[in-house]
Amino acid sequence: MPLGTLERSAPPFFKQGPSALSRLAVYSALAVFLMVADVRFKLTEPVRQVVGTVLYPVQWLMLQPVEFASHGAGYFQALKSAQEEADAARKQMTLMGQRANQAEQLALENTRLRGLLALRERLATPAQAAEVIYDTADTYTRRVVIDRGQVGGVELGSPVMDEAGVLGQVTRVFPLVSEVTLLVDRDQAIPVLNVRTGARGVAYGDPVAGHGGGGMELRFMPANADVREDDLLTTSGVDGLYPSGLPVARVVRVERRADSAFARIYCMPLAQVHGARHVVVLKPLADNTLPRPAPVPTSPAKRGTRK
């Protein structure tokens, strides 16, 4: 190819247009014009409404996971708070129930202690207060242990009472504690007096009789004896241990059989043989009696001589 036919300048690869600076100026002026026009004439308001309406479902769908996570966290937080409040309320109710039970128990103890104080004021026999520690482990006897012993001045055979009546008798004494056999024990007996008739008798323990087990039986009474239900039995004082006039039991049932010469008389002790806690230990009546005066010695001059 001859050299004369070639152009001296290289052909452009891209189409030449306005420069970048010119385009920046034009676009900037257009933007300013549109902003001013939008502010003055509200030209883009319909466009915004259309775009907002079209994009609302997309926005709602995009916000659902966020709202679900937020509501889920709030739900679990509220559930945890409700469980904590329920646990706190349950504990509070338990404490209130315990306090109510303690208040009832204290009120009952106060009533019994007041009865014991009044009983000590009425008794002419020396007495001291004691507390029941526990019941003995022997299932065939009805005995309790009190917190007074030889050191406290408790003697063998001392009567034991609560605010209602005679509870039992001290049958074993240790240095610091004592063992009391209750009236309902099968081997325990107490002389009694029927307040209505004045008839004397002996009441024996009957661990099978009574409500819940634990009563007494007035034995060796004739079938025609004047004994009725609800008769009050008190100590007669003929045994030399129990002071007379202490309440013991009430007659609850009288059975008279034609084939027996004796009546079956069941009694219920007045003392709390199943739940006594505070008791009074009396001094045995034999130790309270006045000593007999010593015999007056006779002079030898007055003695007769044997011839």
- pLDDT > 90? residue 110: no
Identify whether 307 is part of a domain.
no
The confidence score (pLDDT) of residue 102 equals: 65
Q: What is the pLDDT of residue 166?
A: 92
DSSP state letter for 39:
H
Of 87, 122, 157, the residue that ends a domain is 122
pLDDT tens digits, residue range 65-77? 877 787 777 777 8
More confident residue, 99 or 170: 170
Confidence of residue 158 (pLDDT cuts 50, 70, 90): very high
Average pLDDT over residues 82-91: 84
Decide if pLDDT at 290 tops 50: no
Specify the DSSP class assigned to residue 201.
E
- Provide the CATH number for the domain around residue 253: 2.40.10.340
Q: Half-sphere exposure of residue 86, counting CA atoms within 13 Å on the CB side?
A: 6
1 occurs within a structural domain: no
CB half-sphere exposure, 152, CA atoms < 13 A: 22
Residues 111 and 153 in one domain: no
Tell me the pLDDT band of 291, cut-offs 50, 70 and 90.
Answer: very low
Confidence of residue 12 (pLDDT cuts 50, 70, 90): low
Does 143 fall in a domain? yes
pLDDT for residue 204: 94
Alpha-carbon distance 171 to 306, whole Å? 53
Question: Is residue 31 located within the same domain as residue 102?
Answer: yes
Same domain, 113 and 257: no
Domain boundary at 122, 145, 165, which?
Answer: 122
60: left (phi over 0), alpha (psi -120 to 50) or beta: alpha
d(CA 155, CA 282) in angstroms, rounded, equals: 9
Q: Tell me which residue range forms the domain holding 262.
A: 127-288
Task: Tell me the mean pLDDT in the region 119-136.
Answer: 78
CA 224/CA 47 separation, integer angstroms: 120
Statement to judge: residues 134 and 108 lie in one domain: no
Residues 25 and 116 in one domain: yes
Pair (36, 110) in one structural domain: yes
Cα dist. 279→41, 128, 170, 176, 196 in Å? 104, 9, 12, 16, 27
Q: How confident is the model at residue 305 (pLDDT cuts 50, 70, 90)?
A: very low
96-135 per-residue burial string, b: 16 or more CB within 10 A, e: under 16: eeeeeeeeeeeeeeeebeeebeebbeebebebeebebeee
Could you tell me which residue, 174 or 287, shows the higher pLDDT? 174
Q: What mean pLDDT value characterizes the chain?
A: 80
**Is there a domain that residue 46 lies in?**
yes
Q: Tens digits of per-residue pLDDT, 199-231? A: 999 999 987 766 556 789 999 999 899 999 999
Q: Quick one: 106 and 134 in the same domain?
A: no
Q: Which of 105, 122, 139 is at the close of a domain? A: 122
Does 44 fall in a domain?
yes
Same domain, 142 and 244: yes
Assess if residue 137 is contained within a domain. yes
- Structural domains of the chain, count: 2
Antiparallel, parallel or unpaired: β 247-255 and 189-194 = unpaired
Report pLDDT for 306: 46
Neighbours of 87 (CB within 10 A): 10
Q: Which residue has the higher pLDDT, 196 or 108?
A: 196
Co-location of 143 and 114 in the same domain: no
Residue 55: count of CB within 10 angstroms of its CB: 11
pLDDT of residue 292: 47
Q: Three-state DSSP class for 75?
A: helix
Give the pLDDT of residue 27: 87
Q: Does 276 fall in a domain?
A: yes
For residues 42 and 181, membership in a common domain is answered with no
Residue 161, domain member (yes or no): yes
Which of 18 and 186 is assigned the larger pLDDT? 186
Q: How many residues belong to the chain?
A: 307
Q: Are residues 74 and 196 in the same domain?
A: no
Query: For residues 228 and 223, what is the distance between their CA atoms, to the nearest angstrom?
Result: 12
* DSSP one-letter code for 115: H
Q: What is the pTM of this model?
A: 0.57
